[in-house]
């Protein structure tokens, strides 16, 4: 391998990650359809509560390590220091193992108090089942970060797809078997797939690593004399943690927001009073939270996940650009533009067709369409926040997103408290607060990005053209849906027709406005397929 030549461009890595992420998210969404049919909205509430706690501990154990590894490995590879890059990977692997094991034991040992803390004791079995997955996922994440730093997204893509396939199969199968013994066990059965998937994904990426290990050792031996100087392990640990810790804190804040939703939604719905009467029972509050977590959150994050893939691909490339001085502003604008081209139409489509989509996907549990109508705009602000955060991380400003995350969390807490207890607003208040959370975080991150990098943001290309195309697309979707529904009286056919027509309209308008013109888009297909 020639160390002076990048094997993969940012565009190719982004496309690989987007394709794999699309597959993963689609499979992840697909299995939630039979899961919801099996355990219902209340079961989704038990499942989501346990899963949010699991994610929070996973963030604490390893979330920042893959980004830190990707950034540091990318910098070393750019300078030809392959031996040091591999040492960084091994040290991060050790750190992830210790942190993951600690969090797994903690989750299992304190499952009961955690359930009581979030006021959802029905999630106890789900938390117990999820506890081993923290360790497995933590270690596997470092392997993905290493390959990402080597600008090779393929191993991560394959392992994530395999992980989701196993997750889908085991979640539905075990939930179907155990729900006969009770809704709590049915929800726990659904979480078994998370652990099974994490184990399968780890096995795949570990096997790929073992296959590539001879090539890695060859690179280390070929270039270590010329480019490597010895750096103490303690210094590398310090460098890893210096990057990882702020990322962990920032991500933990957003993850904590999901846990707070669990507590605050039930508590504030219980305070909703109309004419002296409590409006929502505990079961109704659980069902509303299940709609939020099992329908809105799944669809919204599925839409935002593609932009997250672009953001992940940006980290090592931004780091390399800073080291070489090669086109930093162009790469940042490319990343943001691609993210907005994905998120604007997703948010528009979900806003206009949210109710019909929920009805099509969950015919036995069609409630929750209003959440999509009022909350889908959050997809754009989430995508923007993810992208700017990744650019800041790639630029070494890893502490800045923590400020934005904390500000966003505070906004969310205040709005949750104020809005959810209003009977006419109720659960809609949670999606309004989510949107405001990402607006606050994204605005702060963007301010500091401009301050520290002097970024010249191309507003017309990044925002205006995707927004205009999305508005035209939205009008087309609405017209097609209503015409087909009037003619055929089929919601499913109408939704599918509107989605196909909307996609065609969107890319047509992008092409007409010149949004798909320029050297980046001209090279995209050529570089990906070359």
d(CA 435, CA 375): 7
Buried b / exposed e over 301-312, threshold 16 CB at 10 Å, is bbbbbbbbbbbb
Does residue 201 lie within any of the structural domains? yes
Total domain count for the chain?
Answer: 3
Does residue 404 lie within any of the structural domains? yes
Q: Is the same domain home to 418 and 383?
A: yes
Does residue 475 lie within any of the structural domains? yes
Residue 179 clears pLDDT 80, i.e. is over it: yes
Residue 73 clears pLDDT 90, i.e. is over it: no
Average pLDDT over residues 255-262: 83
* Top-confidence residue, 10 or 82: 82
d(CA 434, CA 409): 9
Average pLDDT over residues 235-242: 84
pLDDT at 332: 78
* Top-confidence residue, 305 or 323: 305
Phi, then psi, of 272 in degrees rounded to 5: -75, 115
d(CA 514, CA 520): 12
End-to-end CA separation in angstroms for the chain: 17
pLDDT at 129: 93
Q: What predicted TM-score, i.e. pTM, was given to this entire model? A: 0.76
Q: Is 40 left (phi over 0), alpha (psi -120 to 50) or beta?
A: left
pLDDT at 224: 54
pLDDT grade for 527, boundaries at 50, 70 and 90: very low
Residue that is last in its domain, among 437, 457, 477:
457
Q: Is the same domain home to 502 and 444?
A: no
Q: Is the same domain home to 469 and 394?
A: no
Residue 337 clears pLDDT 90, i.e. is over it: no
d(CA 189, CA 171): 6
Helix orientation angle between 124-149 and 297-324, rounded to the nearest 10 degrees = 30
Helix orientation angle between 428-453 and 378-394, rounded to the nearest 10 degrees = 30
Q: Is the same domain home to 64 and 156?
A: yes
CB-CB contact of 49 with 119 (8 Å): no
CB-CB contact of 182 with 125 (8 Å): no
pLDDT grade for 506, boundaries at 50, 70 and 90: very high
* Top-confidence residue, 210 or 328: 210
pLDDT at 222: 64
Which range is least confidently modeled, 4-18, 283-297, 508-522? Answer: 4-18
d(CA 220, CA 227): 10
Give percent of the chain with pLDDT exceeding 70: 87
Burial class (CB in 10 A: 0-12, 13-18, 19+), 202: buried
pLDDT at 44: 87
Instruction: List Cβ neighbours of 525 (8 Å cut-off, separation of 6 or more).
Output: none
d(CA 382, CA 350): 15
CB-CB contact of 404 with 440 (8 Å): yes
Which range is least confidently modeled, 68-77, 221-230, 366-375? Answer: 221-230
Does residue 19 lie within any of the structural domains? no
Q: List alpha helices for 150-232, DSSP H.
A: 154-178, 183-227
Residue that is last in its domain, among 425, 457, 489:
457
Which range is least confidently modeled, 32-36, 133-137, 370-374, 430-434? Answer: 32-36
Q: Nearest-5° angle of CA 354, CA 358, CA 362?
A: 175
Look up residue 62 and give its DSSP letter: I
Q: Which helix (H) or strand (E) holds 274?
A: strand 273-274
pLDDT at 102: 94
Does residue 163 lie within any of the structural domains? yes
Q: Is the same domain home to 50 and 39?
A: yes
Measure CA 387 to chain center.
Answer: 11
Does residue 268 lie within any of the structural domains? no
Buried b / exposed e over 205-225, threshold 16 CB at 10 Å, is beebeeeeeeebeebbeebbe
Q: Is the same domain home to 424 and 463?
A: no
Minimal CA–CA distance to 262: which of 297, 305, 304?
Answer: 297
Q: Is the same domain home to 415 and 427?
A: yes
Average pLDDT over residues 184-195: 91
Mean per-residue pLDDT over the chain, rounded: 84
Q: Tell me: the pLDDT tens digits for 432-485?
A: 999 999 999 999 999 988 887 777 778 888 899 999 999 999 999 999 999 999
Q: Is the same domain home to 67 and 164?
A: yes
Q: Is the same domain home to 419 and 305?
A: yes
CB-CB contact of 189 with 146 (8 Å): no
* Top-confidence residue, 126 or 314: 126
Handedness of CA 119, 125, 129, 131 (dihedral sign): positive
Minimal CA–CA distance to 50: which of 184, 217, 220, 235?
Answer: 184
CB-CB contact of 41 with 290 (8 Å): yes
Does residue 267 lie within any of the structural domains? no
Q: Is 272 left (phi over 0), alpha (psi -120 to 50) or beta?
A: beta
Q: Is the same domain home to 507 and 416?
A: no
Average pLDDT over residues 186-204: 92
Q: Is the same domain home to 431 and 476?
A: no
CB-CB contact of 133 with 194 (8 Å): yes
Does residue 265 lie within any of the structural domains? no
d(CA 183, CA 187): 6
pLDDT at 520: 46
Q: Is the same domain home to 438 and 513?
A: no
pLDDT at 373: 92
Residue 264 clears pLDDT 60, i.e. is over it: yes
Instruction: List Cβ neighbours of 367 (8 Å cut-off, separation of 6 or more).
Output: 41, 287, 291, 358
Print the domain residue range for 292. 275-457
Residue that is last in its domain, among 231, 256, 290:
231
pLDDT grade for 319, boundaries at 50, 70 and 90: low
């Amino acid at each position: 391998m020639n160390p002076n030549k990048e094997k993969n461009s940012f565009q190719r890595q982004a496309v690989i990650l987007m394709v794999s992420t699309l597959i993963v998210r689609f499979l992840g969404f697909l299995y939630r359809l039979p899961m919801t049919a099996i355990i219902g909205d209340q079961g989704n509430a038990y499942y989501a509560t346990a899963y949010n706690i699991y994610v929070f501990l996973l963030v604490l154990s390893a979330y920042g390590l893959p980004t830190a590894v990707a950034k540091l490995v990318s910098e070393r590879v750019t300078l030809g220091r392959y031996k040091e890059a591999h040492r960084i990977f091994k040290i991060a692997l050790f750190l992830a193992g210790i942190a993951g094991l600690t969090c797994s034991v903690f989750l299992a040992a304190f499952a009961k108090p955690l359930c009581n803390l979030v006021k959802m004791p029905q999630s106890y079995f789900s938390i117990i089942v999820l506890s081993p997955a923290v360790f497995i996922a933590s270690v596997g994440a470092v392997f993905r970060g290493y390959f990402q730093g080597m600008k090779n997204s393929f191993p991560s893509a394959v392992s994530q797809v395999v992980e989701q396939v196993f997750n889908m199969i085991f979640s539905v199968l075990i939930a179907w078997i155990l729900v006969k013994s009770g809704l709590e066990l049915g929800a726990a059965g659904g979480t078994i797939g998370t652990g099974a998937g994490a184990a399968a994904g780890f096995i795949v990426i570990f096997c790929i690593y073992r296959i590539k290990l001879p090539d890695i050792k060859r690179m280390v031996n070929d270039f270590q004399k010329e480019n490597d100087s010895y750096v103490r392990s303690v210094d590398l640990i310090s460098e890893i943690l210096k990057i990882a810790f702020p990322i962990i804190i920032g991500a933990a804040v957003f993850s904590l927001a999901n846990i707070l939703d669990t507590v605050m939604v039930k508590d504030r719905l219980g305070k909703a009073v109309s004419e002296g009467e409590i409006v929502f029972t505990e079961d109704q509050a659980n069902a509303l939270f299940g709609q939020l977590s099992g329908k809105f959150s799944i669809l919204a994050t599925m839409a935002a996940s593609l932009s997250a893939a672009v953001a992940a691909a940006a980290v090592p490339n931004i780091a390399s650009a800073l080291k070489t001085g090669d086109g930093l502003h162009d790469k940042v604008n490319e990343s943001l533009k691609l993210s907005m081209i994905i998120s604007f139409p997703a948010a528009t489509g979900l806003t206009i067709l949210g109710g019909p989509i929920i009805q099509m996907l969950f015919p036995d549990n069609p409630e929750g369409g209003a959440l999509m109508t009022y909350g889908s705009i959050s997809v754009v602000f989430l995508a923007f926040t993810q992208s700017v955060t990744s650019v800041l991380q790639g630029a070494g400003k890893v502490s800045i997103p923590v400020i934005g995350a904390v500000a966003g969390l505070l906004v969310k807490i205040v709005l949750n408290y104020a809005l959810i207890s209003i009977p006419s607003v109720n659960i809609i208040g949670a999606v309004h607060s989510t949107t405001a959370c990402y607006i606050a975080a994204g605005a702060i991150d963007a301010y500091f990005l401009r301050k520290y990098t002097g970024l010249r943001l191309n507003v017309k290309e990044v925002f205006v053209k995707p927004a205009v195309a999305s508005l035209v697309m939205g009008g087309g979707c609405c017209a097609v849906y209503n015409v087909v529904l009037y003619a055929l009286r089929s919601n499913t056919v109408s939704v599918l027709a509107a989605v196909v027509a909307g996609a065609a309209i969107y890319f047509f308008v992008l092409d007409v406005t010149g949004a798909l013109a320029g050297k980046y888009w001209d090279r995209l297909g050529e570089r990906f397929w070359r």
